Amino acid sequence: MAAEGGDSELLLAATLLHDGVHVPKNDPRRAQASTLAARQARGILVSLDWEASRIEAVAHAIEAHSFSAGMAPQTLEARILQDADRLDALGAMGIARCFYTAGLMGSALYDPFDPQAITRALDDQRFTLDHFATKLLTLKAGFQTATGRQLAAERHARLVAFRDALLDEIGEV
């Protein structure tokens, strides 16, 4: 926001409330998490006597931030929130989150017989390393703001370096 602008009150509210409803990554309702969080945010903001148009702006930013929802952000605040949320999935923090979540889900680190999925379909529910190819390494292309694109490129490079180092250590390079 410091570089891109936007309404700070709307963006701060959306930031605070965007993950208000937790749906685990392997839950079939995962794609609905941002809609559920937006509904919850509306209720909170109504109770704080916010104007309806501002409530809807916050709700839109929350709904559009989610990768799983597949909704295009229509406002600057929504674009900034989406970029900020996706930056958390990249770089060192993204790697830590990826392996933490995979551990919670009981996923293996990689397929020992085909770590790079050369002869099998990618399956990021079973193999953590597959999540790099199915999602993490695709995120860089979808950033909405110039600042987001710059930061994403830097963090994307960290993801690639980590993946390559891991593959080297298991003898796959």
Reported as a single tens digit per residue, the pLDDT across 50-80 is: 999 999 999 999 999 877 777 789 999 999 9
Distances 70 to 44, 64, 73, 84, 165 between C-alpha atoms, Å: 24, 7, 9, 16, 31
Element (H, E) at 104: helix 91-105
Confidence (pLDDT) at 27: 75
Beta bridge mates, 127: 108
Q: What is the pTM of this model?
A: 0.83
pLDDT digits (tens, 9 = 90+) for 9-27: 999 999 999 988 887 777 7
The average confidence (pLDDT) of the chain is 91
Confidence (pLDDT) at 65: 86
> How far is it, in rounded angstroms, from Cα 5 to Cα 9?
12
Classify 127 as helix, strand or coil: strand
> How far is it, in rounded angstroms, from Cα 23 to Cα 114?
30
Summary count for the chain: helices (H), strands (E): 7, 0
User: How would you classify residue 143: left for phi > 0, otherwise alpha for psi between -120 and 50, otherwise beta?
Assistant: beta
Closest listed residue to residue 88, CA positions, set 106, 67, 109, 104:
67
Domain ranges in the chain are 1-76, 88-173
The one-letter amino acid at 42: R
Q: Please give the class, per CATH, of domain 88-173.
A: mainly alpha
